Chain A
Amino acid sequence: MTPHILTRSLDRSAMIFLLIVAAVGILLPLSNLLLPAGSMFQVPTYLMSLFGKYVCYAILALSIDLIWGYCGILSLGHGAFFALGGYAMGMYLMRQIGSRGVYGNPVLPDFMVFLNYKELPWYWYGFDMFWFAALMVLVAPGVLAFCFGWLAFRSRVTGVYLSIITQAMTYALLLAFFRNDFGFGGNNGLTDFKDILGFNIQSDGTRATLFALSCLALAVGFLMCRAVVTSKLGKVLIAIRDAESRTRFLGYRVESYKLFVFVLSACMAGVAGALYVPQVGIINPGEFAPGNSIEAVIWVAVGGRGTLIGAALGAVVVNYAKTVFTSGALAPYWLFMLGALFILVTLLLPKGIIGTFNDWCEPNRLRNRAKQKRDPIVESAAAEDGVTLPRPAE
């Protein structure tokens, strides 16, 4: 009766999105590697790294949209999960440096030698192995999200109160990571990476691979989110978003559902951070800054909350604008512009770019639906669609 998970998750717009991500993820690295430098179609490495950053931001935006757009949990501290994933990857990269550091210590990273550490702190154990670091990329944000969510959701902290304590959470981590004796490099963070899995981190080949992997992660993350929001669980999430207490009276344990998406979303943010760090070459406590998390929420609002595609699009568009503006004469005013953008979008495009676009296409869609009436499979697939706004994003 119910359509298969793939037919359910992959509507037309999802296919288009995945095709674009795949095309970018394959063509950009190929053009960078295969075409001669200076050729019109060759994408220079610095540009590819910049786009790689955007792709990681897009994954972070997806993770925020999953909880905010579909479950009404407005986290203003998601940057913390992103940064934790980033630190886990950074710790692996630090240990790969080995004796090539300035002080030549085969075990201790430079900053530890500098700070007179005698031996490796226990929480750095295992990070010389990639599989362990990769696991921690998921586990560290996941465990934090679980503990935080367990306490907050069980006590039924919602709305603006929840947003405020997520801000407090990321701020507390910011302060902690700034401390030298916390063992993560203090305010300099982790940097001077040499290689990843034996490949030189600066080489074009590695950078192209990292870019392609980021696109792959975006595609997988997107598919996972689609599978979740088009399932019955997705309908429960929307029900919680719209009428939380009503959902309880139907027998759903709301806090478990919130905890599930919150942890899933935190793990996604962690992966985004882990892919981000090798591409930008540094992770420092600044990533925990409360402002970062708020910016990420603005990307989602601009692109369209509760549409997934909009979140990814918003992240790329806003960050592209940021790159353009902050490299020009308008640089000091970027934050004002971001604020103005947020206000304008809230007032003029409350559904964001994609949400508004979907509304425009509405009349056409209705006509198409009428035509499809005779095709029961298509129809039930459409009915299973989990997107919120008047009609599923297509």
Chain B
Amino acid sequence: MNMMDTKATSALLYLDGVHVSFDGFHAINNLSLTLAPGEMRAIIGPNGAGKTTMMDIITGKTKPDKGEVLFDGIVDLTKLDETKIAELGIGRKFQKPTVFESQTIEDNLLLSLNVDHRVRGTLFWRKSRDEAARIERVLETIRLTDSRHMLAGSLSHGQKQWLEIGMLLAQDPKLLLVDEPVAGMTDVETHQTAELLKEINRDNKTVVVVEHDMTFVRELGVKVTCLHEGTVLAEGTIDDVSANDRVVEVYLGR
């Protein structure tokens, strides 16, 4: 019991015995996962394994039927809504890139800045030199400086993925949940994305990356968790996990 407690309180993200069902369909079954501060974790698993649903639970979009979800060791995420959870410093990139299509790239980043999000503060908000510089840096990082005044809706799928990663950077959260970041990217872009995520992680950010692309996961070189039918099937290095019999079965058995 005591050991569990220290495990829970020293973890940045701690899920234990989580269950979610949608109309009787068990999407998440007794899921447990622990992330240390500053860790990067890759999550793999076949379609429908519950990877996105897990992110929905962490970000407050879906309430678990059962189980514990703790952030920073003490905050019970199941009691909070999306807004509060975002304010705690949990940022998310969606599987289907979700950017504000009718606004410019720069405005998308500006909206993501982690400044006062209350109504009054936003109404009278003015961009400081510091914040302008930050947007500038993010634009450079995601290589969209030249198209900053373009509408986000006019970007290619891959660029939207980058813009959404840029929005995460502007948001500057403690924990980043990145759902399938390299879908629709070329090999070069995939490589660049891996580098970018590693760099973000070096900045002492905790990162959870969901991805199907094994080359990409291998390139990240971090601990891998394989989900299947809403529960953890295997955990370890990419080589361990891909050598695991059950993982092979799940992936080949499809």
Contacts and interface: CB of A to CB of B under 8 A. Distances in A.
Interface of A: 1-2, 228, 231-233, 235-236, 238-239, 242-243, 245-254, 256-257, 260, 383, 388-390
B102 A238 contact: yes
B104 A252 contact: no
7 contacts: A1-B126, A1-B129, A236-B122, A239-B103, A239-B111, A245-B61, A250-B86
Contact of A2 (B94, B112, B118, B127): B127
Contacts of B19: none
B83 interface: yes
Interface of B: 59, 61, 81-83, 86-87, 91-92, 94, 98, 100-104, 106-107, 110-112, 114, 117-119, 122-129, 132, 149, 151, 167, 171
Q: Report which residue of A233, A246, A251 has the largest number of chain B beta carbons within 10 angstroms of its beta carbon.
A: A251
Contacts of A389: 102
5 A-B pairs with least C-beta separation: A251-B86, A248-B82, A2-B126, A233-B123, A232-B125
Contacts of B98: 243, 246
Nearest to A253: B83
A110 to B, nearest CB: 45
A247 B92 CA distance: 11
Contact of B100 (A232, A246, A256): A246
Nearest to A239: B100
Given A248-B82, A390-B151, A232 B102 contact: no
B119 A248 contact: no
Given A231-B124, A239-B111, A254 B101 contact: no
A383 B104 CA distance: 9
A388 B83 CA distance: 24
B136 to A, nearest CB: 11
A249 B117 contact: no
Contact of A252 (B94, B117, B151): B117
Contact of A238 (B61, B100, B122, B149): B100
B86 to A, nearest CB: 4
B111 A235 contact: yes
Contact of A249 (B59, B122, B127, B149): B59
Given A1-B132, A254-B83, A389-B102, A231 B122 contact: yes
A242 B119 contact: no
A242 B171 contact: no
Contacts of A242: 100-103
Contacts of A236: 111, 122
Given A2-B127, A235-B103, A242-B102, A253 B110 contact: no
A239 B132 CA distance: 20
